[in-house]
Structure formats: C-alpha cells, structure tokens
C-alpha cells in the first residue's frame, strides 16, 4: 500500500464515521445516546483536522467539544433534578446494547488514528497550521465570528440558568427566615 492510498483511506473512513455518528446523533430520542454520538462525531472531526495538517485545531476540537459535552451533561442533570430517582433512570437510559454502535465507531477511529500516527510520512506535502497562524486568524479577519460565538455561548448559559433555577420567593428585610446574617 502506498502512503497516499493509506492517507486517503484513513480520511474517507474517518469522514464516513463522522457523517454516520452525526446522523445517529440527530435521530436519537434519548439525550444520553445522542451525546455519545456527539462525542464520536467530534473525535472523528479532530482526526480529520489532524489528517489535513492542523494538529492545533484537532486538539482544540477535542478540548472544546469534550468540555462542551460535559457542560451539556451538567445542564441535563440541573434541568432534570431527579434526586434519588436518577440511579434507576440512568440504568434504564444506558443499557448495554446502547453502547455497541458507539463502541464500534470509536474502535474504527482508534485504528485510523494509530495507523496515521504510526506513519508520519503520510503528512508529507500537507501544510501544518501553527498556533500563531490560528491566533492571527481568530483575532484578525474572524474576530466578529469569535465575538458572536461568545455571545451565543453566554445566551445559552443564561438560558440554562433560568430554566434550571427553582422559583423561590425573595426574602424580605427583617424576615426571621432570611438566610442573611443580621450582625
């Protein structure tokens, strides 16, 4: 097998995993299963970025989206507020058969990543994008897009807070049941 053929094979298999995981993510009714497919999709996109010569973008993909997925889990827990019932519901949400397809897709990605890291000559002729170039692009021509994305994330955070908070009456001044100390 030539290096170009192996590189192309890795790219197309990883792209197929990304498309399949994204389609499965969109079509799942269970939020936990959809988040598992979102993780697989973002990992496959990170491998595609690496194959295209942007290792920094690949690392950012994993860090940012893996962090975002964890925040989604926290928001789901906050909004559902299940308490003691959560153990039973979690067992019902995560049956063993729900892990089969994500595990197969993750194994395919692992094989592709190991094959790509094992042969550095696969990246010959690919222009590597460094941290400085990404920073110049983000704070240069794409500054407005970065600011709009930050506003969108802030709006999502505020919306999740308002959905998750419990409506409690505000304590009045002089109320003996107030939680503030009157020193």
**pLDDT reported for residue 117:** 65
Q: What is the mean pLDDT of the chain?
A: 75
Alpha carbon distance 178, 14 (integer Å): 57
Closest CA relative to residue 13, chosen from 101, 98, 111, 100: 111
- pLDDT single digits (tens) 60-109: 888 887 667 667 665 765 666 555 565 566 666 667 777 788 888 888 87
163-166 — which CB contacts under 8 Å span 24+ positions? Answer: 163/79, 164/75, 164/78, 164/79, 164/81
Q: Output the pTM of the full model.
A: 0.53
Average pLDDT of the residues in 28-50:
82
Confidence (pLDDT) at 183: 47
Q: Please give the pLDDT value at position 66.
A: 66
């Amino acid at each position: 097998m030539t290096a170009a053929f192996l590189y192309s094979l890795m790219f197309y298999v990883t792209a197929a995993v990304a498309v399949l995981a994204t389609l499965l993510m969109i079509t799942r009714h269970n939020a936990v299963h959809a988040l598992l497919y979102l993780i697989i999709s973002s990992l496959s996109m990170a491998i595609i970025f690496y194959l295209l010569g942007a290792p920094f973008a690949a690392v950012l993909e994993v860090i940012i989206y893996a962090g975002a997925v964890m925040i989604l889990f926290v928001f789901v827990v906050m909004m559902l507020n299940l308490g003691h019932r959560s153990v039973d519901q979690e067992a019902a949400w995560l049956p063993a058969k729900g892990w089969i397809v994500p595990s197969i897709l993750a194994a395919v990605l692992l094989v592709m990543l190991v094959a790509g890291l094992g042969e550095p000559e696969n990246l010959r002729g690919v222009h590597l994008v460094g941290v400085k170039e990404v920073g110049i692009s983000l704070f240069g021509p794409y500054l407005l897009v970065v600011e709009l994305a930050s506003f969108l994330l802030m709006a999502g955070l505020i919306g999740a807070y308002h959905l998750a908070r419990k409506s409690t009456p505000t304590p009045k001044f002089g109320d003996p049941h107030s939680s503030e100390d009157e020193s």
